[in-house]
A and B are shown apart, each in its own frame.
Chain A
Amino acid sequence: MKALIRKDLYVLSTQFKLLVLVMVLFSAIPGGLFVPFTFIYATMLPSVSLMSIDEQSKWDSLALMLPYSRRQLVTVKYIMGWLGIAAAMALSVASQALWAAVGVSDLEEGFLAAMCVFAAVALVVQAVIVPVNFRFGFAKGRIVTVAVVAFFGAIVGASIGDGDGFYTILKVTSRIPAPVAPLLAAALCAATIPLSAAGYKKRMEK
């Protein structure tokens, strides 16, 4: 597993610097309006970026002949997704806290709770798109990926667009106990690992 995580981190650092940079920028814009987009990018880490590179380079064919189990090959993409969401959360909280500390912007009430809800939504999105990409491959799976990400992106975009929407989200989500939503979503996401493994087996054994 360590080898697979290392490989994906290398791929991210060499091939997706721009994606990582955009995540950092969105998380750091004062006021936190663009923070949701950081999470949208995080959900795309495992499927849109890493799985597509695996398919393109045919690493997935080679990996099946190396001492990795199918379960490990699947689980590593979930781990990368979770790391991405954790990084999105950490970056957003740290940068917004920094802006608040230096007086550039205020840290809105319920900001942390909203981060937890964004993380939960990102995990649910992953729970949908990762199994689809493992079953059908990136070329077909990206249609679903784009549709799901666009759907959530549109909701976030609309809420930011009407000015008060983002702050309404903060107010509503502040009522949800912080760790509940992401923990439930993480459990749901983890529960789809066997589904992804089965779909992957079916596709690769063709």
Chain B
Amino acid sequence: MNAIEVQALGKKYPGFELRDVTFTLPEGCIMGLVGENGAGKSTLIRLIMGAAGASSGQARVLGADVRGPDFTKIKDDIGVVLDEAHFPASLNARQIGRIMEDTYSRWDGGVYKAYLKRLDLPEKKRVQDFSRGMKMKLALACALSHDAKLLILDEPTGGLDPLVRDEILDILEDFTRREDRSVLISSHIVSDLEKLCDYVAFLHRGELLLFEEKDRLLEEYAIVKLPEEVLRDLPEEAVHGVRHGKYCAEALVERDGVREDLPLEKPSLEDVIVFFARGDRE
């Protein structure tokens, strides 16, 4: 079974449109959704969770149509972390745990307490007195304490210091040790996703420019630095974005589309994303 299937999904807002997004996240895989602020990542997540109605297309999560009547029950198998904790500020972690216990059928209070301890979160301190990092860790503890099959995280590491980010990424790695668990994580911090993901989707100005297995992506593409006049001779369809320098140009190219004798360098995921965005701009 696929964890998420999205087919030609679209949503129109005044001044913004998410267009024709199609991808499939197989069960047991981690997908990183990359995109600049305002690219449509949160909108896509809201559509996938049935929290907003699509203007076109459809989405299925854990086998259920997100607009269908059964999807509320399916959410019992999904853990969600949004860009902030979104819990009423006057509550504490213990009270939030009790609310979640009544919310999820497989809530495990022991697991929740263990996460609070591991993440160094006080049980009786009000959320309003938590730092941003603590709030995100609390949201993560809630999302991980009910044996979810799918975890959906919207910018969970945004605005956090590197230590907390690393801690969160470690926890996500632990979560995906079981093969039937899947993760969709959105971020504009590409390095976080590079460590974690099997698949990468790049959303740019409401359009899905790229959806590919991460390893294949890094194998298929290469960075090449050449004088402008040599670069101009490369097949146009093999070049996916160029950065013009004073002495030479740098381009992202498809390895199979260019000569083997060119000085090709392995790109980072960030290189691929940046060049795709530049290519789109040009």
- Chain A to chain B contacts (Cβ below 8 Å), 10 pairs: A6-B99, A7-B91, A10-B90, A57-B88, A58-B84, A65-B82, A67-B72, A69-B72, A204-B52, A205-B51
- Cross-chain contact A3 with B102 (CB below 8 angstroms): yes
Q: Taking the complex as formed, is B86 at the interface, i.e. its CB lies under 8 A from any CB of chain A?
A: yes
Q: Interface majority SS on A: helix, strand, loop or mixed?
A: helix
- Contact of A61 (CB < 8 Å), options: B51, B72, B89, B95: B51
Distance in angstroms between the alpha carbons of A206 and B103 in the assembled complex: 26
Pair B99/A65 contact, Cβ less than 8 Å: no
Contact yes or no, A59 B88, CB < 8 A: yes
- Smallest CB separation, B168 vs chain A (Å): 18
Distance between Cα atoms of A117 and B91 in the complex (Å)? 36
Beyond contacts A62-B86, A205-B51: 7 other A-B pairs, Cβ-Cβ < 8 A, are A7-B99, A11-B88, A59-B87, A59-B88, A67-B75, A67-B103, A67-B104
A:1-50 near B, CB below 8 Å: 2-3, 6-7, 10-11, 14-15
Q: Which residue numbers of B lie inside 8 Å of A, CB to CB? A: 13, 46, 49-53, 72-73, 75-76, 78, 80, 82, 84, 86-91, 95, 98-104, 126, 152
How many residues of chain A have a CB within 8 Å of chain B? 25
Q: How far is the CB of A190 from chain B (nearest CB, A)?
A: 21
Residues of chain B lying within 8 A (CB to CB) of residue A10: 88, 90-91, 95, 99
- Give Cα A3 to B50, complex, Å: 20
- Tell yes or no: A68 within 8 A of B by CB: yes
Contact with B along A173-206 (1 / 0, CB 8 A): 0000000000000000000000000000000111
Q: Check if B80 sits within 8 Å of A68, measured CB to CB.
A: no
Binding site for B on A (CB under 8 A): 2-3, 6-7, 10-11, 14-15, 53-54, 56-59, 61-62, 64-69, 204-206
Query: Given that A61-B51, A62-B82 are contacting pairs, would A68 and B72 also be in contact in the complex, using a CB cutoff of 8 Å?
Result: yes
Residues of B within 8 A of A64 (CB): 46, 49-51
- Chain B residues within an 8 Å CB radius of A58: 82, 84, 86
B278 to chain A minimum Cβ distance, whole angstroms, is 33
For A2, the closest partner residue in chain B by CB is B102
Minimal Cβ-Cβ distance residue in A for B152: A65
- Measured CB to CB, the nearest residue on chain B to A201 is B53
Cα distance, A68 to B50, chains bound together (Å): 12
Query: Who on chain A is nearest to B89 by CB?
Result: A57
Q: How near does chain B come to A62, taking the closest CB pair, in angstroms?
A: 4
- Report which of B46, B53, B76, B102 forms a contact with A6, defined as CB distance below 8 A: B102
CA–CA, A11 to B100, complex, Å? 15
